[in-house]
Amino acid sequence: MNKFVVITALTLMSLSISSLAKTIYADVQVTDIVPTSHYIWQRENQNTPKYPIKLARSRIRGCAILAFNISATGRTENIEVINSLPKKSIGKSARKMLKKWHWVPVSSQQKLTLEKRTIRLDFCLGGESTEQSQQYCIQQTKLACS
């Protein structure tokens, strides 16, 4: 078999494999529960958190409610998973994600002290576009996470 035939066969094979791969649209919504205003700290990176690959591959979606402290130096500490659905996988991924967040002061005028926070993370999959996935997630935030 000559090289051209082998390369053509490999190219066709890779095209058919890639066409079988389906794009997964995902979104993560962050909702502050406590406090609802007068924050000392805000997330340094205000972009939408990245959906954990392990959850996306397993097509796991759900929500988690977490309580934690932000130290006087802006570090996330004492993370507690209050509730999550499904219990183990979402809670574990949410905790791991939150642990990596960095916090910056909302104002240079405020005294930097420890702040107790409670947030809800909604992990949503589905739809035919990023926008559709985001809309699903906004609807999901209105449902109970228990």
Q: How far is CA 79 from CA 23, 35, 92, 140, in A?
A: 32, 16, 11, 23
Render pLDDT for 91-136 as a digit per residue (tens, 0 to 9): 999 999 999 999 999 988 888 899 999 999 999 998 888 899 899 9
Q: What is the DSSP letter of 52?
A: P
SS3 content of the chain, % helix, strand, coil (to 5): 30, 30, 35
| Domains annotated on the chain, with CATH | 23-140 (3.30.2420.10)
Conformational region of residue 74, where left means phi above 0, alpha means psi within -120 to 50, and beta covers everything else: left
Task: Quote the Cα angle for 87-92-94, to 5°.
Answer: 100
Render pLDDT for 24-63 as a digit per residue (tens, 0 to 9): 889 999 999 987 788 899 999 988 899 998 898 899 999 9
pTM for this one?
Answer: 0.80
Q: How confident is the model at residue 21 (pLDDT cuts 50, 70, 90)?
A: low
